[in-house]
Structure 1
Amino acid sequence: MTLPAPRLRRLSLSDYRSYAQARCEIDAQLVALVGENGAGKTNVLEALSLFSPGRGLRRAELGDCARRGGAGGFAVSIEMETDGAATQLGHGLTPEGERQFRIDRAPVGSARAFADHLRVLWLTPAMDGLFNGPAGERRRFLDRLALGVDADHGARVNKLERALRNRNRLLEDGVSDRRWLDATEQEIVALGVAVAAARRETVTRLTALIVTRESAFPWAEASIDGEIENMLAEAPALAVEEHFRQTLSATRRRDAAAGRTLTGPQTSDLLVRHGPKQEAARDCSTGEQKALLMGLTLAHARLVGEMTGKAPWLLLDEVAAHFDPKRREALFTELEALGGQVWMSGADPLLFASLRGRAEIFQVTPGKLTR
């Protein structure tokens, strides 16, 4: 079955990063941005990533996205088409620092509203060290996976983090009124179990999809190392919530001494193994890790399409250079098969030579996009 595939037809940037004013029209599924390092390729991908909830693929402060020497704000607008129906989406920041979101020029509350029209996924060079880096980076990656299929997941994660900070502060201040701690812990329990359940469901569905699909990239075995997530595999959510609540209540003194809450989904980790080699991803070579991460990204894009009913957009920053010509061509073939629009960047135009006639290629120079 062919999924509806939103297509970006026109992109406009105003005072965004290196772009004072830039506009381009697109009429292809695959789009490649080529140019020297620092020309502004990643800036375009970042602007598109902000049509997803959160802080985008760089996780930058929004004020940093405003062009230096500009008025202090920025605006990004896209015109997209899905099955013949046109929609205009926009996001921006006023010079006064007010975040703005619009759909067909009407204001909406947040980027969450964009999820009804499109889903945006990405892979960047900053993620190359995912398997060897700290657990917090893998949790963030895991939550982006869950957010792709559940647009409300990010809001729950943010609320959980705020509730945990509140509990830690109460413990640090030595608050003796149990009612304050009980109320805060009850909020943590409800949010924590919901976050853990969404993570677990995403990984379960992703694993099931991976084993049924062939790919030029190695298949991954993914699991979650987390007390709450693991308990949800054996017990109903209400029983897990009660256990979590009792644990938080019983460990207040320990957590006060540690300065943080030591139990909960904020301590979980994503475990990945190289399926064909049956080896932990962290022990694989750099090339194998990059191929494994690409395979996970492709599988996740397919999962998002199946669960949302729309093929997602995929932003791939400087990934083509990682692979030899044979695997690079296999990547392009798999990207075409996904059906969703794909934006890629690379410094070397030769990386995309085989896409001529199959993709639109833009030359990026400081402040300009030229077909």
Structure 2
Amino acid sequence: MISRLALTDFRNHRDTLIKPAAGFNLLTGPNGAGKTNILEAISLLSPGRGLRRAALRTMARSDGAGGFAIAARLEDGSEVGVGTQANAPDRRVVRINGANASASALAERIAILWLTPAMDRLFLEGATGRRAFLDRLTLALEPEHARNASLYEQAMRERNRLLSEEERPDPAWLDGLELRMAEAGHALHDARVRTVAALDGAGAGDDDFPAARLALEGFDGDDLARALAEGRRRDAAAGRTLAGPHRSDLAVTYAAKGQAAADCSTGEQKALLLGLVLAHANKVSEARGLDPVLLLDEVAAHLDPARRAALYTRLEGRGQVFMTGTEAALFDAVDDAARFTVRGGALVRD
């Protein structure tokens, strides 16, 4: 858990310090005050592009020096931080206990998962969002997943570049890249399969957070190196790689109804999503002996009062939770919490 968080020149936060509670942390204030910015800052303490998936250069405060810094002290006393510098606004610098580190190393220190209003359409839109969601679930269970994903993406970008050149690339060089893709890709796929198996049937099985059946589609885990070698001409014509775990999709079904999540009501989709997050938090606790930090942006505003109260009950005692809302009344059913008001990039503990 995070015991101290400091933001410097991040979004609209010039110099914000927060000492969160071990349980519920409630951030309220008007739209545009900077509540979600705090959640985004926390999300950047994990591999990837954060909950908004924004470009790093857009995160620095507009009237600041050009870079930003996010520093956190964890409950074990270790310190992690990420940021950028004015002369390299697109390069993320990661530090752990004062030393430079890789972004993937962050996953070994802290597990972070989030839900945002944009994810309410997770089951309706393309596979990219569902794949990213599954990868965050997997990362929290298996921190090395970030390294395998990075190796796979790097090798695939290089292969695509070579295939796009007019001059025919060296087959031996392509063989090497495809072997790297296959090794990292199979590890990536196998980790996703384990996560899907662990969460299949997840949920409380009631109307508040119904159980979900999960399946991984789009890539069957067959010999990837062979498929890549045989598909070079096809991929060159398409301008991209058409086979591999980057084509996978997460299929979700409302278990009790046998109905695809995409065909469920908006409320049912939200309940399925929350059920997955709650079940995943339990799995992370069991597998790693730590509770993931949960970031729930405007989650209460999209639930009826009964389901809202049920959510707070389920979250109690599950570790550190950050929730945002425009109205403090949305959290009246939360008994024990640290409550903060956010206005204009400034934060005050109530």
CA distance in 2, matches of 1:296, 1:111: 25
Note if contact 2:114-2:294 (Cα within 8 Å) is conserved in structure 1: yes
Query: How far apart in 2 are the matches of 1:192 and 1:361?
Result: 43
C-alpha distance in 1 between matches for 2:331 and 2:204: 29
Per the alignment, residue 300 of structure 2 pairs with 320
- Provide the residue aligned with 1:232 in structure 2: none
Q: What is the 5 A alignment of 1:262-281?
A: 262-281=242-261
Kept in 2: contact 1:193–1:228 (CA 8 A)? no
Write the mapping of 1:325-344 to structure 2, written as runs, cut at 5 A. 325-338=305-318, 340-344=319-323
2:203, 2:275 within 8 Å by CA — same for their partners in 1?
A: no
Check 1:252–1:75 CA distance in 2 against 1; reply closer, same or farther (3 A cut): closer
Number of corresponding residues: 346
CA distance in 2, matches of 1:133, 1:245: 30
Match of 1:59 among 53, 69, 73: 53
Q: What code does the residue aligned with 1:26 have? A: P
Query: In the TM superposition, what is the alpha-carbon distance from 1:151 to its structure 2 partner?
Result: 1.5
Q: Determine if the alignment matches structure 1 residue 37 to structure 2 residue 31.
A: yes
Equivalent-residue separation in structure 2 for 1:215 and 1:146 (angstroms)? 26
Could you tell me which runs of 5 or more consecutive residues in structure 2 were left unpaired when the two chains were aligned.
none
User: Is the 1:100–1:107 contact (alpha carbons within 8 Å) kept by the matching residues of 2?
Assistant: no
Amino acid at match of 1:284: C
Q: C-alpha displacement at 1:300, in angstroms?
A: 1.4
Runs of 4+ in 1 over 4 A off after TM superposition: 211-215
Aligned pair in 2 of structure 1 residues 192, 117: CA closer, same or farther (>3 Å)? Answer: closer
Matching residue of 1:237: none
Tell me the TM-score normalised to structure 1 length: 0.88
Find out whether 1:227 has 2:227 as its counterpart.
no
Tell me, yes or no, if the aligned pair for 1:215 and 1:295 is still in contact at 8 Å: no
Please report how far the alpha carbon of residue 297 of structure 1 lies from its aligned counterpart in structure 2 after TM superposition.
1.2
Q: CA deviation at 1:227?
A: 3.0
Q: Which aligned pairs between 1:194-213 and structure 2 lie closer than 5 A?
A: 194-207=187-200, 210=202
Match of 1:93 in 2: 84
Q: Mark the runs of 5 or more structure 1 residues left unpaired by the alignment.
A: 1-5, 230-239
In structure 2, the partner of 1:146 is 138
Matched ranges for 1:162-201 at <5 A: 162-173=154-165, 174-201=167-194
Equivalence for 1:218? 210
Q: Per the alignment, do residues 65 and 301 of structure 1 end up closer, same or farther by CA in structure 2, a change over 3 Å counting?
A: same
| Distance verdict in 2 for CA 1:186–1:334, change over 3 Å | same
Once the two structures are TM-superposed, the CA of residue 51 in structure 1 deviates from its matched residue by: 1.0
RMSD (CA atoms)? 2.0
Alignment match, 1:235: none
Q: If the length of structure 2 is used for normalisation, what is the TM-score?
A: 0.93
Letter in 2 for 1:198: A
Aligned AA for 2:315? L
Indicate yes or no: 2:325 matched with 1:351.
no
Partner of 2:291: 311
Identity of aligned residues (%): 48
Aligned residue number for residue 46 of structure 1: 40
Q: In the aligned structure 2, how far is the partner of 1:182 from the partner of 1:100? A: 33
* Structure 2 residue corresponding to 1:26, chosen from 6, 9, 20: 20
